Amino acid sequence: MNLKNYLKILLLCCMLCGCNKARQSEAPDMEWWREARFGMFIHWGLYSVAAGQWDGKDIDGIGEWIQNFAKIPNSDYEKLAADFTLANYHPEEWVMLAKQAGARYIVFTTKHHEGFCLYPSDVSDFDIERTPYKNDPLKELVEACRKHDIKVGFYYSHRQDWREEEAAVMKNEYDGHYGKPKSEVKPDLDSYIRKKALPQVRELLTRYGKIDLLWYDTPFDLTKEQSRMFVDVVRELQPECIINGRVGFDLGDYGPLGDNEMPCARVSKDLEMVATMNHTWGYKKNDHAWKAPKDILCSLIECTSRGINYMVNIGPKADGSVPQPSVDIMNFIGEWMRANSESIYGATANPFNDNFPWGYVTSKGNTLYLHLLRRPVDNRIILKGMLSPIERAELLASGRNLFLSEESCSFTVPDDLDYERVPVIKLTCKEPVRISDANYMNENIISIPVANGKITPGAEGTLSIAEGGNTQNFHAGTGKIRMKFEVDSPGKYTVRVFTSRHWRRSFAEGAQITLKVGDTLFDSVVLEKNGELENVRQNSYPESWSDVGTVTFDKEGTREVELSVNKTGTFSKLGFFGEDIQNESDNNIRFLRIEFIRQ
């Protein structure tokens, strides 16, 4: 071979190598995921055997963290494998439970923090082969998903592994965990990643065919380089596989939210809410705090109205059977979806500035979908700010026509609607939906999400809006936020401020804000917890309101409210039960929205 031909071949090889690396670095196609909107999570492991109890005593906290909470040595915890029977494990039934509910994808825990693998692993003997079940339950679940056209996702705890001393997270360690005092435990995270975590991810991505989603969890103290390794292995082996945001450092294909965290405003980034049906992910025999089926359904609808996906969890028992309340909830959702899924699949966020007091709005092309959680005041819906002419209003489930007053974009809803079943009104417009971005009053409430405001930096930096639509880094010195709204009914209004917090924090004492509403100044007002919303997020991200005072608007027109922080106050930490406080700062007030309520 002459030199010229050799150089040509060398150049071609370099080009092919470069193309391959480029393909590995490209983000996968997210369209199926955005179209799906709804998925089912499955938490299952040795913790399902313990079922929330150890030595005959109930253990506080979420079920899958029982080894950590009860401070169980590995030598004792591994004995649970003998009772992880899978005697009633029928993966096709799990898949059909998801499918009939309308879920389009399933994410299954292949290895949770306990370190136990629910498949035969060549890297560790702490796996399914220790149990009486001698087959591969993961393989069987994947085959069932493919049979019924459900997308397949694998959960893998890439940072935490309580089986491995090298992966120890020292602040949560306890004497005897690895058969020695915690002072003698010597973590080596790089070694753990190299010897176990990455090889197991490779097993998952090479043994089971096409995988649609890789769901990592709790990046904790990973470096950016370490998180990137968990991205690179997916891009190398399955470039079309989507990676969730908890891989760390914003390297995933969509962003992370906290457990059971709902955005408080429309979002522009791909996000996913993961939610429990009671207070735990892994099965706990004495957790009977099941959320109402309607509330779970409304979480799915609200997620779509915010522009994000919803993935609800089931926690099977050790034998593989699913608790009946979980089955009942999924069946309830399925019944509703069979008549109304058009308002969920492929739908985008509510184009109005906020959801309405009577319910949630989703959209798609020329269509709006109004989801009614309760009867509107006087049975009348008014869509202020609607700019696109509406040519038809009907009940989605039945096609029943509703009388429409096109001039005022209003209509009367029938008297016979069943609000426990969340009726949906479909509005078809003559053109793609266009909505004013103004904040109008609806049912005597002007609701203004902070995400709609304009931020002015302060002397010590600038506040910002988090992925969930709430404020972050908002304290004295980080500026202010200004929001405009429309007054179309002069009178006296209560000024109400909504904040939230992670459940592990108390309501902050002594927090002070300054609020300017037109010419009215509420200077250095102390935020009191005047009330707390009762909803499915109350045990995860409780939402409180504080009444600041009253203001009178003597005429119609556009107004502006300006919010700044004087003191963030002090709070107590309420213990540790597994949930990670994500994207939270001690020096921040987590504002959601401001409401003006006509008296």
- Residue-level pLDDT at 579: 59
Structure tokens that stand for 287 in this block:
């957790």
Residues 326 and 399 in one domain: no
How far is it, in rounded angstroms, from Cα 36 to Cα 472? 30
Count of C-beta atoms within a 10 Å radius of residue 497: 23
Residues 45 and 192 in one domain: yes
Contact yes or no for 120/129 (Cβ under 8 A): yes
- Supply the DSSP symbol for 586: S
Residue 354 lies in a domain: no
How far is it, in rounded angstroms, from Cα 352 to Cα 582? 28
Residues 451 and 424 in one domain: no
**Side chain identity, residue 395:** L
Query: Closest Cα partner for 334 from 296, 372, 308?
Result: 296
Q: What is the pTM of this model?
A: 0.94
How far is it, in rounded angstroms, from Cα 222 to Cα 169? 11
Q: Provide the residue range defining the domain that includes 375.
A: 359-436
Residues 431 and 452 in one domain: no
- Residue-level pLDDT at 170: 81
Residue 204 lies in a domain: yes
> How distant, in Å, are the alpha carbons of 28, 128, 214, 233, 481 from that of 243?
9, 25, 5, 11, 34
Count of C-beta atoms within a 10 Å radius of residue 445: 17
- Supply the DSSP symbol for 537: T
Residue 144 lies in a domain: yes
Contact yes or no for 414/227 (Cβ under 8 A): no
The rounded Cα 173 to chain-centroid distance in angstroms is: 28
Q: Which CATH number characterizes residue 375's domain? A: 2.60.40.1180
Partnered with residue 565 across adjacent β-strands are: 513
- Supply the DSSP symbol for 193: I
Residues 44 and 161 in one domain: yes
Total domains, the chain: 3
- Residue-level pLDDT at 8: 42
b/e for 212-234, b at 16 or more Cβ within 10 A? bbbbbbbbeebeeebbbbbbebb
Domain boundary among 343, 372, 400: 343
Question: Hey, what's the torsion of the CAs at 236, 241, 242, 246, to 10 degrees?
Answer: -60
Q: Name every residue whose Cβ is closer than 8 Å to that of residue 534 and which is 6 or more positions away in sequence.
A: none
DSSP SS3 for 351: coil
Residue 588 lies in a domain: yes
Q: Which CATH number characterizes residue 290's domain? A: 3.20.20.80
The helix (run of H) or strand (run of E) holding residue 68 is: helix 66-69
How far is it, in rounded angstroms, from Cα 94 to Cα 89? 9
Residues 431 and 449 in one domain: no
Partnered with residue 483 across adjacent β-strands are: 561
Contact yes or no for 222/157 (Cβ under 8 A): no
How far is it, in rounded angstroms, from Cα 565 to Cα 138? 51
- In degrees and rounded to multiples of 5, residue 418 shows phi and psi of -100, 100
How far is it, in rounded angstroms, from Cα 4 to Cα 13? 14
The rounded Cα 153 to chain-centroid distance in angstroms is: 16
Q: Tokens 């909505």 belong to which residue? A: 435
Residues 328 and 469 in one domain: no
Residue 11 lies in a domain: no
The rounded Cα 403 to chain-centroid distance in angstroms is: 37
Query: Closest Cα partner for 65 from 247, 283, 274, 244?
Result: 283
Q: Tokens 């950590």 belong to which residue? A: 68
Domain boundary among 436, 468, 499: 436
Residues 295 and 160 in one domain: yes
Residue 49 lies in a domain: yes
Q: Name every residue whose Cβ is closer than 8 Å to that of residue 474 and which is 6 or more positions away in sequence.
A: 463, 481, 565, 588, 589, 590, 591
Question: For 156-275, where are the alpha helices, taking DSSP H only?
Answer: 189-192, 198-207, 224-237
Partnered with residue 412 across adjacent β-strands are: 380
Contact yes or no for 42/107 (Cβ under 8 A): yes
Residue 26 lies in a domain: no
- Residue-level pLDDT at 573: 83
Residues 264 and 407 in one domain: no
- Residue-level pLDDT at 581: 53
Residues 307 and 288 in one domain: yes
Q: Which CATH number characterizes residue 579's domain? A: 2.60.120.260
Residues 550 and 419 in one domain: no
Residues 405 and 450 in one domain: no
> E strands within 397-490?
404-405, 410-412, 424-429, 441-442, 445-449, 454-456, 464-465, 471-472, 480-487
Query: Closest Cα partner for 487 from 456, 525, 444?
Result: 444
Contact yes or no for 145/95 (Cβ under 8 A): yes
Q: Name every residue whose Cβ is closer than 8 Å to that of residue 301 and which is 6 or more positions away in sequence.
A: 343, 344, 360, 362, 371, 422
Domain boundary among 384, 402, 436: 436
Residue 14 lies in a domain: no
- The pLDDT tens digits along the chain (599 residues) read 444 444 344 444 444 444 444 334 567 999 999 999 999 999 999 999 999 999 999 999 999 999 999 999 999 999 999 999 999 999 999 999 999 999 999 999 999 999 999 999 999 999 999 999 989 999 999 999 999 999 999 999 999 999 999 999 888 899 999 999 999 999 999 999 999 999 999 999 999 999 999 999 999 899 999 999 999 999 999 999 999 999 999 999 999 899 999 999 999 999 999 999 999 999 999 999 999 999 999 999 999 999 999 999 999 999 999 999 999 999 999 999 999 999 999 999 999 999 999 999 999 999 999 999 999 999 999 999 999 999 999 999 999 999 887 666 899 999 999 999 999 999 999 999 999 999 999 999 999 999 999 999 999 999 999 999 999 999 999 999 999 999 999 999 999 999 999 988 999 999 999 999 999 999 999 999 999 999 999 989 999 999 999 999 999 999 999 999 999 999 888 876 665 555 567 899 999 999 999 99
DSSP SS3 for 352: coil
